[in-house]
Amino acid sequence: MNRVVVIGGGVLGAQIGLINAYWGKDVTFWLRSEDSVGRTRPKIKRYSELMLNDLKSAKALLGDGAAKYPHGLIKDWDGMTEEKLDELIARASENLANNIHIELDLAKALEGADLVIESMAEDVEAKKAMYETMRDKLSENTILATNSSTLLPSMFAEYTGRPEKYLALHFANNIWRNNTAEVMGHPGTSKEAYDAVVEFAGEIGMVPLQLHKEQPGYILNSMLVPLLSSAQALWAKGVADPETIDRTWELGTSAPMGPFKILDVVGLQTAYNINLMKPETKVEGSVNYEISRLLKEKIDRGETGVNAGKGFYDYTKK
């Protein structure tokens, strides 16, 4: 699959388009308005620079077998040399500059697309409306994938007009480093479409992680969310402090980061929003109420995580 259309140019949409362009795919962003174009262009520029900088920084990692090189940009680290990295950087600059197009006309954008990746905001009605608008404009063979993190493909399959060619292809933020691609069909997805998407994910530097059935939260969040909730509950109940909880997890499982270090990366505002969705949070005296209260205190102090320089840990100290 070579001609890829990305619907939506937000945080993830921009990154998805770029990783496709980097690996030589012909990418068209469909955006709904000139205002969207104005918001998406700076994102494309910023993420292109971050990707290129990571490739350049990888030179300092040469010779380290366990290096944290950008896994989505480099498929084979064994035998990597400075010359090969220079070639990759030159090719990346060219591909990122030449392989990306932006289109406001939906019919034009979709014409001849092999794969459409929908990465619009997490809004059920907006996604349904988008699929209904698209269905008559898609070529017969086009596969349609959603990057939705929390919604299931079976909720939308009937609106796409091509349920057998519709499935979820779920990427992670900072796609060029965190190169997971969870592939999840709904009961009506054909094996051909599923297999084609698994193969495609590998072509664009991702590690395809195959789900055999629908699961809210896919694989990663099905494990991560309960871990983070349990850690916050231990903190809110006063059982132990965040540092001790992290150290317990890290020493006990050899994991590099405990739950509160992960929460600092995710951002405390996101953790707070997720907690608010739980009905018990409104019940005064409940553990979730206490979690919200404690998170809110930190957010009000500006301690929202790594991006703010401080969260559960202080990142301003070296």
| Residues classed as catalytic | 170
CB of 190 to ligand NAD, least distance (A): 23
Per DSSP, helices labelled H in 58-173 are 82-98, 106-110, 124-134, 157-160
Query: Please, which residue, 14 or 58, has the CB nearer to ligand NAD?
Result: 14
Given candidates 4, 8, 134, 196, which one binds ligand NAD under the rule CB under 6 A?
8
120 forms part of the interface with ligand NAD (CB under 6 A): yes
The CB-of-148 to ligand NAD minimum distance in angstroms stands at 4
Stretch that binds ligand NAD, among 5-13, 107-115, 216-224, 243-251 (CB under 6 A): 5-13
Which of helix, strand or coil describes residue 229? helix
Give the count of alpha carbons within 13 A of 32, CB side only: 11
Q: Which of 69, 171, 218, 312 binds ligand NAD (CB under 6 A)?
A: 171
CB 152, min distance to ligand NAD, A: 12
Binding mask 15-34 for ligand NAD (x = CB under 6 A): -----------------x--
- Paired with 166 in beta bridges are 144
Region of 9-17, 54-62, 155-163, 227-235 interacting with ligand NAD (CB under 6 A): 9-17
Least distance CB 229 / ligand NAD (angstroms): 18
The residue (of 47 and 171) whose beta carbon lies closer to ligand NAD is: 171
Q: How far is the CB of 206 from ligand NAD (least distance, A)?
A: 13
CA-atom Rg of the chain in angstroms: 21
Q: Does 13 participate in binding ligand NAD (rule CB under 6 A)?
A: yes
**C-beta of 50: minimal distance to ligand NAD in Å?**
15
* First CA to last CA distance, the chain: 46
Binding of residue 283 to ligand NAD (CB under 6 A): no
User: Does the protein bind ligand NAD through residue 225 (CB under 6 A)?
Assistant: no
Residue 60 binding ligand NAD, by CB under 6 A: no
Q: Which of 20, 99, 149, 275 binds ligand NAD (CB under 6 A)?
A: 149
Cα distances (Å, whole numbers) of residue 188 to 8, 124, 167, 170? 25, 20, 9, 18
Question: Total residues contacting ligand NAD (rule CB under 6 A)?
Answer: 21
DSSP 114: S
- CA–CA separation, 91 and 73 (whole Å): 11
β-partners of residue 295 are none
When asked if residue 124 is in the footprint of ligand NAD (CB under 6 A), the reply is no
Token readout for 208 is 């395809």
Residues 22 and 95: beta-carbon distance below 8 Å? yes
* The one among 95, 119, 189, 304 contacting ligand NAD by CB under 6 A: 119
- Rule CB under 6 A: is residue 122 a binding residue for ligand NAD? yes
182 in Cβ contact with 209 (< 8 Å): yes
**8 A C-beta contact, residue 125 and residue 50:** no
Q: Smallest Cα–Cα separation from 194: which of 204, 206, 185, 186?
A: 185
Q: Are 73 and 55 in contact (CB under 8 A)?
A: yes
Report CA 274 to chain centroid distance, whole Å.
Answer: 17
Answer yes or no: are the C-beta atoms of 100 and 94 closer than 8 Å. Answer: no
Residue 10 within binding range of ligand NAD, rule CB under 6 A: yes
Binding site residues, ligand NAD, CB under 6 A:
8-13, 32, 36, 119-122, 126, 130, 147-150, 170-171, 173
